[in-house]
A = this chain, B = another copy of it.
Amino acid sequence: MKPRIKTTSQRAGRRTDALSREKIVEAAIGILDAEGESALTFRTLAARLSTGAGAIYWHVADKDELLAIASDHVLTRTFDALPQEPEPGRAIRVLALAMFDMIDIHPWIGTQFFREPWQLSMLLVVEGIGGPLQRMGVPDEALFDCGSALLSYILGVAGQNAANARLPTKIMDREAFLADVADRWSKLDPQQFPFVRRIAEQLPGHEDRQQFVAGIDLILAGIEARYLTAPPQAQ
């Protein structure tokens, strides 16, 4: 469909500078943000950089590495902009919300966490959660479990938001889409899905971001109750 040869003044004709890892990653992020994960191919990327597809391999090992670098890049930037927050509970909420907003803008990162585990991005998140937990006074033996719980929750929401971003948002707006899902839910078998039917009416009005914080609060409340309160006699 689209002509291969650009004859107009579309400002993509020739490259002024040399290629670089940095430039490739920047262009990749641009495509990912604007058109989604499925739009990023070495061919489109090369076209945007006015070069051949093979040239990219001189700077980047393969597509996996490119995606990893891109998400590390965005996440590092996000974390660098994080305000210092002395109160540990607030520090965790601030970090979690920063991640939520980051994924709102760059939905493709949401699934990236479920590729190579234990990559740099993951460590940054773990560290950002773990520090405040320590300052909170969570006992050493419980630190790993508490950090892991918060991490898994955050990644779970991230993945769901990434999935939602892939939906046909162009056709319907969010409002209409939720109303549509709610409608389908309310028509489910009352015998098999009593609970889903019940929360269907809450779906259209609900706020993802607010619900996300509610989950963080729930886990923090659990940590407080289990590890930061004088334990009762029994057991």
CB within 8 Å of B: which residues of A? Answer: 110-111, 113-118, 123, 126-127, 130-131, 133-134, 140, 143-149, 151-157, 159-160, 162-164, 167, 181, 185, 188, 192-196, 198-199, 202-203, 206, 211, 214-215, 217-226
Q: How far is the CA of A128 from the CA of B225 in the complex (A)?
A: 25
Query: Of B143, B152, B192, which one neighbours A199 at CB under 8 angstroms?
Result: B143
Copies of this chain, complex-wide, total: 2
- For this complex, 6 residue pairs linking A to B, each with C-beta atoms less than 8 Å apart, are A110-B114, A114-B162, A123-B188, A149-B153, A154-B156, A156-B159
User: Are B215 and A164 in contact, with the CB atoms below 8 A?
Assistant: no
In the bound complex, residues from chain B placing their C-beta under 8 Å from that of A211 are 144-145, 148
User: Are A117 and B167 in contact, with the CB atoms below 8 A?
Assistant: yes
In the bound complex, residues from chain B placing their C-beta under 8 Å from that of A206 are 144
Q: How far is the CA of A219 from the CA of B156 in the complex (A)?
A: 14
User: Are A147 and B117 in contact, with the CB atoms below 8 A?
Assistant: no
